[in-house]
Amino acid sequence: MGRWGSANFDGLKKLDQSLNDMRSSDLECILRETCSDLSTKLMIAAKKNTPVGKTGRLVRGFKISDVMKKSGMYSQVVSNDVSYARPVEFGHKRRGGNGFVVGRFMLKRATDDAKAQAPTHAKKALRGFLGDRFNDR
C-alpha cells in the first residue's frame, strides 16, 4: 500500500489557541472605539462646515453622547443644542416673510462623509485587532 504523505498541524493548533484566547470583550472594546472615532470625526467635520458668527456659539454647541449598544448595534449621537442650530442647518424664512435663507446642511454633509468613510475605517480597525491576535499585519 502506498504512502499518502504527512502533514504538520502546528499552525492549526496555534490558530485554534489564538481563537480561544480572543475574548468578546476585546472585540466589543474595538467596536466601541471605532464608533467613538467615527463620531469624533463627524463632529469635527460638522464644526468645519458650520458658519462662524460673532460669538462662535454654534460651532461650540456640538456635543457627542456616550456610545450606546442596542440590538447588537453601536451608536452615538452628535447634536447641537443651540436654539438656532436647526434653522441654520435646514434653512428658514426671512424675518417679515420676504424670502428664504437656504440651509447650510453642516451636519448632513458631515454625516454623508462619515457614512462613506465608515466601512474603510471599520475594516482598518478590525484588521488591526485581528493582526494583533494573529501576528499577521
- So what's the pLDDT on residue 12? 73
In this structure, is residue 130 part of a structural domain? yes
In this structure, is residue 1 part of a structural domain? no
- Determine the structural domain holding residue 72 and report its residue range: 11-134
- So what's the pLDDT on residue 10? 76
- So what's the pLDDT on residue 54? 93
Structurally, the chain folds into a number of domains equal to 1
- So what's the pLDDT on residue 3? 66
- So what's the pLDDT on residue 46? 97
Q: What is the pLDDT along the chain (137 residues), one digit of tens a residue?
A: 556 766 677 777 776 776 677 777 788 888 999 999 999 999 999 999 999 989 999 999 999 999 999 998 999 999 999 999 999 999 999 988 899 999 999 999 999 999 999 999 999 988 888 887 666 54
Burial classification of residue 74, based on how many CB atoms lie within 10 Å of its CB (0-12 exposed, 13-18 middle, 19 or more buried): middle
3-state secondary structure 22-90: CCHHHHHHHHHHHHHHHHHHHHHHHHHHCCCCCCCHHHHCEEECCCEEECCEEECCEEECCCCHHHHHH
- So what's the pLDDT on residue 6? 65
- So what's the pLDDT on residue 26? 80
- So what's the pLDDT on residue 45? 97
In this structure, is residue 125 part of a structural domain? yes
In this structure, is residue 2 part of a structural domain? no
